Amino acid sequence: EAGVAQSPRYKIIEKRQSVAFWCNPISGHATLYWYQQILGQGPKLLIQFQNNGVVDDSQLPKDRFSAERLKGVDSTLKIQPAKLEDSAVYLCASSLDTGSLYGYTFGSGTRLTVV
Amino acid sequence: AQSVAQPEDQVNVAEGNPLTVKCTYSVSGNPYLFWYVQYPNRGLQFLLKYITGDNLVKGSYGFEAEFNKSQTSFHLKKPSALVSDSALYFCAVREGTGFQKLVFGTGTRLLVSP
């Protein structure tokens, strides 16, 4: 099966600019996750979708971050305006459902550098 | 809240020697524990999981992990390390009752020298 696709792979922007990341999960996976991985830290969950509904966005900085999952398939994560501390790798993952015992499948991530 | 701790930032081992990457957990109820590996510029790859059953769990690439309830540990092991095992390793625990998510440790960098 095809894996989780993410684009772009790399992005460099200036602070206060906006940026968007795209994720296409594995076909049939109902649950989609966006994680933020800052250098030297473990991945931190930003937002979790079940189909096209948000089930957990408790750690999403909602004043600048937004995400959507139209039609329960692809998802877009946006940052506007970006700050220096947003420099990180943004990982998208998907699973069959939220209670999956098989773990998640991760994409290769988007490395964001804010200068 | 559920959590995992990885006490070592880095583990160094010579090729051919056994390796151990440590993880301890703090959970209420039964723990669902995972190990993932991350190679440079790649996403996380699933290695193995513990849900229930045997305390010794076997996974991908010759890795295994030992679940120890009394010590609340879930250490990752391999009998003979390869240079290609050099990567970043993350322990994770599944959290939540309804909608669940993985909570990750801070990661341990494994360096295997030739």
Report domain extents, chain A. 5-114
| Smallest Cα distance from A75 to chain B, Å | 17
Interface test with A, best of B44, B51, B91 (most A CBs within 10 A): B44
Name, in order, each residue with C-beta under 8 angstroms of B54's C-beta and a sequence gap of 6 or more: none
Q: Do B101 and A45 touch (CB under 8 A)?
A: yes
Q: Do A43 and B32 touch (CB under 8 A)?
A: no
Supply the pLDDT for residue A96.
Answer: 84
Which residues of chain A make contact with B103, given a CB cutoff of 8 A?
45
Closest by CA to B19, choosing from B47, B43, B53, B45, is: B47
* Residues A58-97 pLDDT 10s: 999 999 999 999 888 999 999 999 999 999 999 999 998 7
Domain that holds residue B43: 3-113
Q: How far apart are CA B79 and CA B67, in angstroms?
A: 17
Q: Do A42 and B104 touch (CB under 8 A)?
A: yes
CATH topology of domain A5-114: Immunoglobulin-like (2.60.40)
Supply the pLDDT for residue B53.
Answer: 83
3 state DSSP class of B83: helix
Among B42, B96, B101, beta carbon nearest to A108: B42
Please give the average pLDDT of every successive group of 10 residues along chain B, which has 114 residues.
92 98 91 92 88 90 95 97 96 81 93 96
Q: How far apart are CA A30 and CA B77, in angstroms?
A: 33
Question: What is the chain B residue with the closest CA to A111?
Answer: B41
Among A50, A93, A106, beta carbon nearest to B99: A50
3-state secondary structure A70-99: HHHCCEEEEECCCCHHHCEEEEEEEECCCC
We report the CATH number of the domain holding residue B16 as 2.60.40.10
Supply the pLDDT for residue B70.
Answer: 93
Which residues of chain B make contact with A48, given a CB cutoff of 8 A?
99, 101
A33 or B98, which is more confident: A33
Identify residue A14 by its one-letter amino acid code.
Answer: E
Query: In chain B, how many domains are there?
Result: 1
Question: Are the CB atoms for A20 and A77 separated by under 8 Å?
Answer: yes
Q: How far apart are CA A65 and CA A47, in angstroms?
A: 10
Supply the pLDDT for residue A40.
Answer: 85
